Amino acid sequence: MTTTAFIGLGAMGYPMAAHLSRHAAEHGGAALVWNRTASKAHKHAAEHGSRVASLSELAQADVILSCLPTSASVDEMIGRLEGQLRPGTLWIDCTSGHPDAARTQRTRLAAHGVRFLDAPVSGGTSGAQQGTLTVMLGGPADEVEEARAALPFAAKVVHVGDTGAGFAVKAINNVLLAVNLWAAGEGLAALAGLGVNVSAALDVINTSSGRSNATENLIPQRVVSRQFPVTFTLGLLAKDIGIALDVVHAAKGSAPVLAQTGALYDAAARNVGTDVDHTAALQFVERMNAREIR
């Protein structure tokens, strides 16, 4: 019987861990959960049949999954468990973390016989709920194969390279999200200034070559609607852009558009806040243009 433990029941982790519980019930395993704010773990156990674990129980699991805000918070968790870890455990980190941290964490955990894979996810909270996430895995091929069975919240699992490659791909994906969102916001603000109906413009763009997830989903559902529901915070996206710029630097690359995007999102976060939804960055574009995008 495989015991799987999930650390971090946030916007993503809570529904991801629900799939672990379901999978464990169907396959005769055990799904343990742990959260810094313990009440969320008790709520999860009551709603989804997972079992709330102590730190020492977590440390003994066959598979440990984590989904925390940053690699620094994963380092803190490793510190909490370090003395109690069991050789043979596979630690799969679904945080959108930093490639350098993945390499350090792998070495640190290897000293205890624990194997570490970077395994960030895309698909948002709706993908987490539906079990349709994409997982990008970094690490040795044999460990990646072993990890596949422990990802019941995924519809697609891709081995993208060695340790740290998963985090690098995730960061570049998210800076592309940031570029598309911002550029669409600037273009639509200009059209709104000319008196063009923004929904009609989106209708055209979404069957034309300028379309993106930002124009198809994010802007109509969150910006034009004025809802800005908080599912992925602007602070977390700004963190991802910072990681992407570190990836460019490590590759000795040249990426002026991505660098400018980082500066713009930092300014947006300073102006509209970090705990708002990432699409609220376009409220800063709206201030720059003195008009709303709708």
Give the separation between CA 228 and CA 225, rounded to whole angstroms: 8
The nearer residue to ligand NDP, 13 or 205, going by C-beta atoms, is 13
Is residue 68 involved in binding ligand NDP (CB under 6 A)?
A: yes
- Start-to-end CA distance of the chain, whole Å, equals 54
What is the identity of the amino acid at 242? G
CA distance 175 to 50: 35
Number of chain residues interacting with ligand NDP (CB under 6 A): 26
Q: Which is nearer to ligand NDP, 153 or 189 (CB)?
A: 153
Q: Residue with the closest Cβ to ligand NDP? A: 10
Q: Is 132 in the site for ligand NDP (CB under 6 A)?
A: no
- CA dist 42 and 64 (Å) reads 18
Q: How far apart are CA 174 and CA 251, in angstroms?
A: 17
Between 10 and 220, name the residue whose CB sits nearer to ligand NDP: 10
Among 2, 22, 60, 69, binds ligand NDP (CB under 6 A): 69
Closest to 55 (Cα-Cα) out of 84, 15, 22: 84
Judged by CB under 6 A, which of 25, 29, 36, 143 binds ligand NDP? 36
Identify the residue among 50, 89, 96, 279 touching ligand NDP (CB under 6 A): 96
Rounded CA-CA distance 235/74 in Å is: 17
101 lies in the binding site for ligand NDP (CB under 6 A): no
Name the burial class of residue 194, with classes exposed (0-12), middle (13-18) and buried (19+) by CB atoms within 10 angstroms of its CB.
exposed
Residue 235 makes contact with ligand NDP by CB under 6 A: no
Q: Which of 96, 122, 36 is nearest to 238 (CA)?
A: 96
CA 127 to chain centroid? 11
| The binder of ligand NDP chosen from 58, 61, 92, 121 (CB under 6 A) | 121
Contact code string over 240-269 relative to ligand NDP, x by CB under 6 A: x-----------------------------
- C-alpha closest to that of 181 among 277, 294, 287, 278: 278
Candidates 11, 25, 255, 288: give the one binding ligand NDP (CB under 6 A). Answer: 11
Q: Find the part of the chain contacting ligand NDP (CB under 6 A) among 10-18, 220-228, 252-260, 285-293.
A: 10-18
For residue 233, give the DSSP letter: B
Q: Could you tell me which stretch among 55-63, 84-92, 187-195, 229-237 binds ligand NDP (CB under 6 A)?
A: 229-237
Stretch in the footprint of ligand NDP (CB under 6 A) among 53-61, 72-80, 103-111, 179-187: 72-80
Q: Quote the least distance from Cβ 278 to ligand NDP, whole Å.
A: 8
**In whole angstroms, what is the distance from residue 26 CA to residue 17 CA?**
14
Does 232 bind ligand NDP (CB under 6 A)? Our answer is: yes
Q: How far apart are CB 141 and ligand NDP at their closest, in Å?
A: 24
The C-alpha R_g of the chain, in whole angstroms, comes to 20
For β-strands 63-66 and 3-7, DSSP reports them as parallel
Binding site for ligand NDP (CB under 6 A): 8-13, 35-37, 40, 67-69, 73, 76-77, 95-96, 121-122, 124-125, 231-232, 236, 240
